[in-house]
């Protein structure tokens, strides 16, 4: 009985094995009949442009402060009462114009009295000289009268200077600011009256690092911009360079003069500036959109024989929509400018016709 059972089990296992072998061959033959080679990936549609050769101007950009060409705070040298104010706030004045007149009546009267005394002393001295010819006057008296006359003249000059100080004048042509005094006010020496700025020319103050100082010369063109006037560029030239480099910042202070005929720039304004340091001819240039950044590295896709090759490049200066390629690319090589996100290294590509601007 046990032998019969074993034979039955062996028969069943043999049948299962034969069936498995049959279905294995049938499945493999079916699979091989239906499997096709993988279709090649479709070519990626891209737009390309050749790298061009052009001129690059190396620039340095930073921030600056606008200053008046000349600037001063107008104060009084002497004490006095404000008798007259001859200016309006924001008014333009010429050098020597009287801005504020202090009360000068007492000083003017003192001057007239001193002139009278000095004139009398001069006449007395002249008479003494004539009398001295006949020895009718002592030499000591003549010298005394001479001293009185000379001292009187010196006193006149002192009073005239004090009288002039009561007229507060403009030291140079410019534009006055807000006035700080009123008629009738008693002011003391050092009292601030107003400000005066020469703003026909704005002096731009900025610093450059010592690493580029060799490129900065007097007469170098400067382009400045202000957030107050978006899109507007103010041009000037470097007028002076400090003789020292700051030991902490390692930068030198520079001044540039910018014409301001429309009076739009104000002293104290925050501005940005740009210096053209050097020009490079025959530089390799590509559109900005052709660059693919990966961390700090830059790549372009170069098209050769219908395929894209990913190539690392080193970039230099950036201009209006273009980037200088320092190494890794030659003029005339075609780079992808549209469709770059779909391209992979070795991808087949189809070059599209460049899009045309709409007809107006």
Query: What's residue 58's pLDDT?
Result: 80
Tell me, letter by letter, the H, E, C secondary structure of 141-197.
HHHHHHHHHHHHHHHHHHHHHHHHHCEEECCCCEEECCCCCCCCCEECCCCEEEEEE
Residue 58's CB: how many other CB atoms inside 10 A?
16
18-50 pLDDT tens trace: 444 444 444 444 444 455 555 566 888 888 899
The per-residue pLDDT of the chain, averaged, comes to: 86
H or E element that contains 338: strand 334-338
Query: What's residue 251's pLDDT?
Result: 96
The strand ranges marked E within 210-250 are 221-225, 234-241
Query: What's residue 131's pLDDT?
Result: 86
Query: What's residue 276's pLDDT?
Result: 85
Distance CA 125, CA 140 (A): 12
C-alpha separations of 44 from 306, 352, 354, 355 in Å: 10, 10, 15, 17
Query: What's residue 40's pLDDT?
Result: 64
Query: What's residue 180's pLDDT?
Result: 95
Task: For residue 297, give every residue at least 6 positions away whose Cβ sits within 8 Å of its Cβ, in sequence order, or none.
Answer: 312
Query: What's residue 252's pLDDT?
Result: 96
The answer to whether residues 244 and 209 touch, using CB atoms and an 8 Å cutoff, is: no
Q: Span 154-179, mean pLDDT? A: 96
Place of tokens 């070519």: 43
Q: Span 199-205, mean pLDDT? A: 96
The answer to whether residues 145 and 128 touch, using CB atoms and an 8 Å cutoff, is: yes
294-315 pLDDT tens trace: 899 999 999 888 888 999 999 8
Q: Span 94-100, mean pLDDT? A: 97
Query: What's residue 37's pLDDT?
Result: 57
Is pLDDT at 329 greater than 80 in this prediction? yes
Query: What's residue 27's pLDDT?
Result: 41
Is pLDDT at 17 greater than 60 in this prediction? no
Which carries the bigger pLDDT value, residue 37 or residue 86?
A: 86
Query: What's residue 357's pLDDT?
Result: 52
Q: Span 151-178, mean pLDDT? A: 96
Query: What's residue 35's pLDDT?
Result: 52
Give the largest Cα separation in the chain, rounded. Answer: 188
DSSP state letter for 348: B
Question: Domains (ranges, CATH) in the chain?
Answer: 46-55+281-351 (2.40.420.20), 61-67+198-280 (2.40.30.170), 104-165 (1.10.287)
116-132 pLDDT tens trace: 999 999 999 999 988 88
The answer to whether residues 329 and 51 touch, using CB atoms and an 8 Å cutoff, is: yes
Q: Determine which of 10-19, 165-174, 334-343 has the lowest per-residue pLDDT on average.
A: 10-19
């Amino acid at each position: 009985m046990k032998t019969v059972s074993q034979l039955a089990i062996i028969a069943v296992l043999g049948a299962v094995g034969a069936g498995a072998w049959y279905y294995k061959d049938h499945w493999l033959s079916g699979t091989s009949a239906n499997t096709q080679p993988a279709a090649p990936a479709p070519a990626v549609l891209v737009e390309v442009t050749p790298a061009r050769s052009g001129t690059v101007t190396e620039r340095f950009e930073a921030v600056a402060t606008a200053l008046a060409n000349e600037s001063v705070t107008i104060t009084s040298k002497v004490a006095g009462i404000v008798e007259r104010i001859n200016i309006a706030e924001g008014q333009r004045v010429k050098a020597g114009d009287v801005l504020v007149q202090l009360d000068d009546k007492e000083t003017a009267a003192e001057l007239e009295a001193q002139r009278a005394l000095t004139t009398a002393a001069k006449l007395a001295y002249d008479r003494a000289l004539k009398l001295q010819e006949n020895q009718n006057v002592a030499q000591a008296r003549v010298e005394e009268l001479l001293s009185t006359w000379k001292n009187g003249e010196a006193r006149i000059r002192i009073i005239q200077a004090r009288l002039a100080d009561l007229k507060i004048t403009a030291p140079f042509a410019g534009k006055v600011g807000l006035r700080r005094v009123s008629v009738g006010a008693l002011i003391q020496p050092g009292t601030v009256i107003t400000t005066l700025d020469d703003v026909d020319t704005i002096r731009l103050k900025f610093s450059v690092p010592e690493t580029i100082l060799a490129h900065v010369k007097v007469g170098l063109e400067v382009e400045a911009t202000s957030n107050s006037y978006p899109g507007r560029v103010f041009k000037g030239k470097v007028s002076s360079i400090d003789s020292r480099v700051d030991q902490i910042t390692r930068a030198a202070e520079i001044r540039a003069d910018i014409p301001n005929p429309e009076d739009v720039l104000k002293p104290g304004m925050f501005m940005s500036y740009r210096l053209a340091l050097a020009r490079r001819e025959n530089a390799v240039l590509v559109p900005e959109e052709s660059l693919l950044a990966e961390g700090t590295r830059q790549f372009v896709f170069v098209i050769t024989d219908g395929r894209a090759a990913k190539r690392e490049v080193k970039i230099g200066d950036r201009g209006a929509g273009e980037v200088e390629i320092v190494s890794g690319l030659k003029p005339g090589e075609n780079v992808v400018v549209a469709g770059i996100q779909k391209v992979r290294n070795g991808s087949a590509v189809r070059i599209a016709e460049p899009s045309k601007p709409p007809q107006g």
